[in-house]
Structure 1
Amino acid sequence: MGIEIRKVSTKGERKRFIRFAWTIYRNDPELDRYWVPPVVSDYMKTLDTDHYPLYEHADLAMFTAWKDGRMAGTIAAVQNRRHNEVHDDKVGFWGFFECVNDQEVADALFDAAASWLRERGLDTMRGPVSPSMNDQCGMLVRGYDSPPVFLMLYNPPYYNTLATNYGHATGQELLAWYIDQDRIDIERLRRIAGFVQKREGLSIRTIRMKEFDREVAIIRDIYNRAWEKNWGFVPMTDREFSYLATSMKAIAKEHFIYFVEDSEGRPIGFSLTLPDMNVALKHVNGNPFTPWGLFRLWWYGRNISAYRTITMGVLPEYRNKGIDSMLNAHIADYGGRYGLYSSEMSWVLKSNQAMSKLAKVIGGIPYKEYVIYEKPI
């Protein structure tokens, strides 16, 4: 029998689209050892074009591949009009790619995404981006021997072969840096941070959770201005940022979200570090909100001691002054005193030498690598 491509239309089909991943990972003990099932309800919201804020300026299509009467793969295609406006290009995106180890099935999925993107006047496909650069992106190419941290992806090694055989080339390489608390020279970091703070007349504080909305607005402003020139970056709308912040509020820890302020109390930089909830999510099979799921989430999440630094931002006029060292010193200092044994700094563009240098200074090891592929269509 040939390969049939079906477009996802209904809520039930969307859920089946998400659940297909279990077919890939649960049937392979080595993959299942490290894979963390996605939270189905979260993915349902992310793929809901009526409610997820991204789709106020983007369009989404989801496809499933069927072979011999069985679902064999999934892919989503995204036209992000805001991205095209910001970068003045005709790039479209693909993501949520899951596939059996069959090149014909993979080709059919990529063809479906490419055709949909071409119909909208786009000339390049880029991915995996699921569904935007502000969400989950990158295909793992190195570091399969440990689980992904919160909001990072995991995939079988053969996915890269399927992509490159189709004609995808490397667009960007991303690194995840592993920070072992025992490797950090905390005294050196304190000295550097203290010197920078005194020289620049700065202060540092934690987030004020009672003023959460106001603090989120500050982070949004710094984030959009600090990342403006980064590859692939698209400023988040107020609604996108508010949605993301609200979804993370329940797990945010006050002493891992820092603001740096100038001598007049004006915020000029921030860092966002979150607990590695994958430690607990690994055990709830994608459904943490059932009674049993909630218990297991609580049980395995009681003593999470691994964290992920998701992002830092410093206003352009304050770059290259060592402010990131202040932020890292406070994260490491607090973590060392209160049970943090490791963290991951991710993701970082491999070409970003400044961030790589910073990661090395605090004892970081680049232990995972991801690729975002590109192909003319």
Structure 2
Amino acid sequence: MSIEIRRVEGKRDRKQFIRFAWDIYRKDERLNRYWVPPVISDYMKTLDTARYPLYDHADLALFTAWKNGQMAGTIAAIENRRHNEVHQDKVGFWGFFECIDDQKVADALFDAASAWLRTKGLNAMRGPVSPSMNDQCGMLVKGFDSAPVFLMLYNPEYYNRLVVNYGHSTGQELLAWYIDQKKIDIGRLRKIAAHVQKREQLTIRTIRMNDFQNEVEKIRDIYNKAWEKNWGFVPMTDKEFDHMAKSLKPIAKEHFIYFVEDRDGRTIGFSLTLPDMNIPLKHVNGNPLTPWGLFKFWWYGRNISAFRTITMGVLPEYRNKGIDSMLNVHIADYGGRFGLFSSEMSWVLKSNEAMSKLAKVIGGIPYKEYVIYEKSI
């Protein structure tokens, strides 16, 4: 029972690399119930080192494992030079991990990734990070009985065993908070928000879609400043941020992106919430742009009833002043008026007590947990 590792080369190999996930999830009734197939065209761009802006300061190697002539697993190895410059370490990353339930296959994949990372002078590996901390990351360890929301990952439970048995330990734990909009004490939240707004002399508004580029620059400035001290955070380059904004613009809703401004009109905070596009994506099998895929995407997307708050950012000098209450009350108010009655706040570092406290105040329940693993190499 030989195991062969192959390096992915070219567009055809990349597509085969992506399509392997279908072999894992479609063949298992329970997994297939919750798994949302990735958009193949998006993953093709993300893994294209000539197109995706991350690779201006990162290198990528893709590997597939073959057992008895059949593909049995995939992994990506990533050297993010910008990360190592910011954090003054020598950490490499792995991601896009999919594998049959076979420790020898998993070991061969991790061996290939770690060997490649060592050639880059790195001494540790961390993952899953697919392909950066500003993209999808974390392996699901709790909450397997519900589907992932937009841009969050799902995986079989046994993946964690494969990772730990290879010698990984927990690097960081991440939480996803479920919020039932019907159970929020909206009256109390409105009073808190009004008090904060008056005390700090602030105003709040929605994004101006007709001035999208300037609005994106405001978000980028606050995002990079607000998250600067967070574990593993690497400021996005202008090119990376613009790419992300362009990709999200078609699904962005005006009343789900808010800005808080001080009395001088300076933007001091923002929140980014998106409809849970995984609801229609579940039904298009990774191909939303075919004629049939477009119809199904439209059909199942007509009545999206959930959303995800991806990020909030407040300038450091305005932290711990209750600005988040202003943002949350507007999100909850709008969602309640338009039939969006559940939301997820994710991801949040388990060690981030301030954000956990905020989530609890609005009735959040930590219903999913993820782990980013680490191992010396």
TM-score range, shorter chain: over 0.9
Q: CA deviation at 1:278?
A: 0.2
Q: Does 1:100 align with 2:100?
A: yes
- CA separation in 2, counterparts of 1:4 and 1:343? 43
- CA separation in 1, counterparts of 2:249 and 2:339? 21
Q: CA deviation at 1:340?
A: 1.0
Q: Does 1:77 align with 2:116?
A: no
Q: Deviations over 1:195-219 (max 9, x none)?
A: 0000000000000000000000000
Indicate the residue corresponding to 2:63 in structure 1.
Answer: 63
**What is the 5 A alignment of 1:7-18?**
7-18=7-18
- CA separation in 1, counterparts of 2:38 and 2:6? 23
- CA separation in 2, counterparts of 1:204 and 1:219? 14
Q: CA deviation at 1:333?
A: 1.1
Indicate the residue corresponding to 2:173 in structure 1.
Answer: 173
Indicate the residue corresponding to 2:319 in structure 1.
Answer: 319
Indicate the residue corresponding to 1:214 in structure 2.
Answer: 214
Q: Does 1:205 align with 2:205?
A: yes
Indicate the residue corresponding to 1:272 in structure 2.
Answer: 272
Indicate the residue corresponding to 1:349 in structure 2.
Answer: 349
- CA separation in 2, counterparts of 1:366 and 1:17? 33
Q: Deviations over 1:128-185 (max 9, x none)?
A: 0000000000000000000000000000000000000000000000000001011100
- CA separation in 1, counterparts of 2:45 and 2:191? 45
Residue type of the alignment partner of 2:258: Y
Q: Deviations over 1:210-246 (max 9, x none)?
A: 0000000000000000000000000000000000000
Q: Deviations over 1:35-72 (max 9, x none)?
A: 00000000000000001000000000000000000000
Q: CA deviation at 1:323?
A: 0.2
- CA separation in 2, counterparts of 1:21 and 1:259? 38
- CA separation in 2, counterparts of 1:304 and 1:334? 14
Indicate the residue corresponding to 1:260 in structure 2.
Answer: 260
- CA separation in 2, counterparts of 1:246 and 1:302? 22
Aligned to 1:172, what secondary structure does the other structure show?
strand
- CA separation in 2, counterparts of 1:106 and 1:338? 45
Which ranges of 4 or more aligned residues in structure 1 deviate by more than 2 Å?
A: none
Residue type of the alignment partner of 1:296: K
Aligned to 1:42, what secondary structure does the other structure show?
helix
Q: CA deviation at 1:115?
A: 0.3
Percent identity reads 80
Residue type of the alignment partner of 1:339: G
- CA separation in 2, counterparts of 1:338 and 1:322? 26
Aligned to 1:20, what secondary structure does the other structure show?
helix
Indicate the residue corresponding to 1:128 in structure 2.
Answer: 128
Indicate the residue corresponding to 2:161 in structure 1.
Answer: 161
Residue type of the alignment partner of 2:355: M
- CA separation in 2, counterparts of 1:130 and 1:176? 18
Indicate the residue corresponding to 2:286 in structure 1.
Answer: 286
Q: Does 1:110 align with 2:128?
A: no
- CA separation in 1, counterparts of 2:330 and 2:11? 45
Aligned to 1:36, what secondary structure does the other structure show?
coil
- CA separation in 1, counterparts of 2:124 and 2:97? 17
Aligned to 1:325, what secondary structure does the other structure show?
helix
- CA separation in 1, counterparts of 2:183 and 2:103? 43
- CA separation in 2, counterparts of 1:64 and 1:309? 34
Residue type of the alignment partner of 2:55: Y
Q: CA deviation at 1:338?
A: 1.4
Aligned to 2:251, what secondary structure does the other structure show?
coil
- CA separation in 2, counterparts of 1:203 and 1:266? 10
Q: CA deviation at 1:334?
A: 1.2
Q: Deviations over 1:84-131 (max 9, x none)?
A: 000000000000000000000000000000000011100000000000
Q: Deviations over 1:296-331 (max 9, x none)?
A: 000000111100000000000100000011101110
Indicate the residue corresponding to 1:150 in structure 2.
Answer: 150
- CA separation in 1, counterparts of 2:185 and 2:245? 32
- CA separation in 2, counterparts of 1:103 and 1:305? 40
Residue type of the alignment partner of 2:206: T
Q: CA deviation at 1:370?
A: 0.1
- CA separation in 1, counterparts of 2:174 and 2:227? 16
Residue type of the alignment partner of 1:288: P
Q: Does 1:38 align with 2:51?
A: no
- CA separation in 1, counterparts of 2:337 and 2:50? 45
- TM-score, length basis structure 2: 1.00
Indicate the residue corresponding to 1:231 in structure 2.
Answer: 231
Unpaired segments ≥5 residues, structure 2: none
State how many pairs are aligned. Answer: 377
Q: CA deviation at 1:376?
A: 0.2
Q: CA deviation at 1:346?
A: 0.1
Q: CA deviation at 1:332?
A: 0.5
Aligned to 1:212, what secondary structure does the other structure show?
helix
Aligned to 1:339, what secondary structure does the other structure show?
coil
Residue type of the alignment partner of 2:4: E
Residue type of the alignment partner of 1:199: R
Q: CA deviation at 1:10?
A: 1.2
- CA separation in 2, counterparts of 1:205 and 1:362? 21
